[in-house]
Amino acid sequence: MANLNRFTRPLWDLDTMFVFDHFTGDQSDISAVDTVTDSGTVLIGDDVGGIVTLTPSDGSVGDNDEAYLATPNELFKFGTNRAIYGRTRAKFTEVSAGVANVAFGFQNAVGANSIVDDGAGLKVSGSTVGIYKVDGETVWRVASSCNGTSTVTKTNKAATAALWYVLEIEVLDWDGTSMLVSFKVDGEVLKDTLGAPIQHTVAIASATEMQMFAGIKLGGATNNDTLLLDYWYGATCMAP
């Protein structure tokens, strides 16, 4: 007789909400939604293992054209006894070195200007935590913000076009009123320009829900650069 009391895998995950996509099906705004300007595209095509390509512009390339992919709903939030984790394998292409703006992380109300124009980095007016690169630079930066208070740190880790990177973000409750944020690239804890490991403390008061997202914004009118994702994973849970 079948045993209906077996402890099957979903029961292990009841305390953890997670999102994962290896980008094997066509982009359809069901498991992820896209925002594009100037007839740009977010496409999943024939590629070994599944790849989604974010292209900010069509043939009429304009400075600050942009493209984003995000979870359809805001599923992540800074909070007491809460943890957030995000990971992606990504690479970007550049027609000219150091021109593209690219980002991965969590942010409320993802859309136009989630990456701010003219190399100004991530939007930090609401809740945001991310790893990103701005035009004019060839290193990664990190940012976190909540309720108008933000922290931005330039790292000593190179961000080079055409190379695959694994980007990771971990957010943990620190003391009941703030979160401790750390960042990794290719398994290495990101360090600031002086070589010290980067940790951000984010007060959770007035936090708002966030989407997981990735995006690219052009830093020049003659460059149609791209952002490619092999997979992404986001999870959140309450502490036991």
Helices (H), the chain: 9-12
**pLDDT beneath 50, residues of the chain:** none
Cβ pair 187, 166 in contact under 8 A: yes
d(CA 112, CA 196): 33
Q: What are residue 180's DSSP bridge partners?
A: 172, 201
Rg (C-alpha) for the chain, rounded Å, is 18
Residue 11, SS3 per DSSP: helix
Nearest to 219 by CA among 109, 140, 139, 116: 116
Residue type, 150: S
Query: So what's the pLDDT on residue 89?
Result: 98
Residue type, 159: A
Listing from the earlier edge strand, what are the strands of the sheet with 66-70? 33-36, 66-70, 211-217, 101-107, 128-133, 139-146, 149-158
Q: Is the dihedral of CA 6, 17, 202, 199 positive or negative?
A: positive
**Domain spanning 16-238, CATH class:** mainly beta
Report domain extents, the chain. Answer: 16-238
The residue behind tokens 């600031």 is: 192
Backbone angles phi, psi at 148, to 5 degrees: 90, -5
Cβ pair 191, 155 in contact under 8 A: yes
d(CA 234, CA 225): 25
pLDDT tens figures, 157-187:
999 999 999 999 999 999 999 999 999 999 9
Residue 68, SS3 per DSSP: strand
The residue behind tokens 């070195």 is: 97
Cβ pair 131, 103 in contact under 8 A: yes
Query: So what's the pLDDT on residue 13?
Result: 83
CA 66 to chain centre: 15
